[in-house]
């Protein structure tokens, strides 16, 4: 079944910002979007979040796919790497979070349909911290985002995708509508440990203490 390839290039960030470094891909694509614009109006930069199969149509219509993601490629915590070709199998076969199941199914379905992207590259980050529900990125993840954005830029140039640096006073189109989810508001709005237990429901923890007494 043939699908019209009307998206020459899709730059996609995936992940869950509620699970610390699992949100790396989303934060990286936000930074990419703040720094760069794609010159062809048919190209897209998108926050894929945890949408999984809801991204299927866009993937099938895409010629070149660049993904920012937090993934387990068996590297050292905090390591940044670029995955291509056979390396992509590591990214799609190792599950570190619910969203990756969706990406596995998505790419497999695109291949069965004969409409997988011609080129796929993943700028991947080996997580340092995942078990902090409601937390932001680890400092290491924040530190490597500029390099991830630079890697993404160079990949696009290799693919002859038109990219320009945004001007200082340019209005940057938001990738998500909810202002409360941008990283500054997200971090500043987090409840204190006293208000929101970091290790689960504090009521359950207290109940277990009473039972053990």
Distance, CA of 151 to CA of 70 (rounded, Å): 15
- Binding site members: 22, 69, 99
Q: What is the pLDDT of residues 31-64, one digit of tens each?
A: 999 999 999 999 999 999 888 888 999 999 999 9
> Cβ(123)–Cβ(146) under 8 Å?
no
Q: What is the pLDDT of residues 103-150, one digit of tens each?
A: 778 888 888 888 999 999 999 999 999 888 888 999 999 999 999 999
Q: What is the pLDDT of residue 99?
A: 57
Could you tell me the two tokens for 10? 């899709």
7-177: CATH topology: Rossmann fold (3.40.50)
- Residue 213 pLDDT exceeds 70: no
* Pairing of the two strands 36-38 and 163-165: antiparallel
Question: When comparing pLDDT for 90 and 202, which is higher?
Answer: 90
Higher pLDDT residue, 188 or 202?
188
Structure tokens at 197: 């237990």
Residue 213: Cβ within 10 Å count: 4
CA distance 16 to 21: 8
Q: What is the pLDDT of residue 201?
A: 59
In this predicted structure, what is the pLDDT of residue 174?
A: 86
Ranges of each domain in the chain? 7-177
Residue 29 structure tokens: 């694509």
Kindly indicate the confidence band of residue 203, based on its pLDDT and cuts at 50, 70 and 90: low
**What per-residue confidence (pLDDT) applies to 212?**
52
Secondary structure (DSSP) of the chain: ------EEEEEEEE--TTBGGGGHHHHHHHHHHHHEEESSTT-EEEEEET-GGGGHHHHHTEEEEEEEEE---S--TT-EEEEEGGGHHHHHH--SSHHHHHHHHHHHHHHHHT---SEEEEEEE--S----BTB---HHHHHHHHHHHHHHHHHHHHTT--EEEPPTTPPPPPS-S-GGGSHHHHHHTPPPTTTS-TTS-HHHHHHHHHHH-
Token look-up 């990949």 returns 155
Binding annotation for Ni(2+): 22, 69, 99
């Amino acid at each position: 079944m043939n699908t019209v390839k009307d998206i020459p290039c899709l730059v996609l960030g995936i992940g869950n910002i509620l699970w610390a470094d699992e949100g790396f891909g989303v934060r990286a694509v936000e930074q990419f979007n703040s720094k760069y614009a794609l010159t062809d109006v048919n190209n897209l930069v998108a926050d894929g979040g945890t949408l999984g199969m809801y991204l299927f149509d866009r993937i099938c219509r895409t010629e070149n796919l660049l993904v920012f993601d937090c993934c387990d490629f068996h590297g050292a915590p905090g390591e940044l790497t670029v995955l291509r070709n056979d390396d992509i199998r590591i990214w799609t076969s190792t599950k570190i979070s619910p969203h990756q199941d969706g990406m596995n199914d998505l790419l497999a379905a695109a291949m069965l349909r004969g409409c997988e992207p011609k080129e796929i590259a993943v700028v991947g980050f080996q997580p340092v911290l995942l078990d902090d529900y409601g937390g932001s990125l680890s400092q290491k993840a924040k530190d490597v985002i500029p390099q991830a954005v630079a890697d993404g830029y160079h990949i696009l140039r290799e693919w002859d995708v038109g990219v320009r640096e945004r001007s200082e006073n340019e209005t940057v189109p938001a990738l998500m509508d909810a202002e409360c989810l941008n990283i500054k508001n997200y971090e500043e709005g987090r409840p204190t440990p006293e208000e929101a237990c970091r290790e689960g429901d504090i009521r359950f923890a207290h109940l277990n203490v009473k039972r053990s007494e």
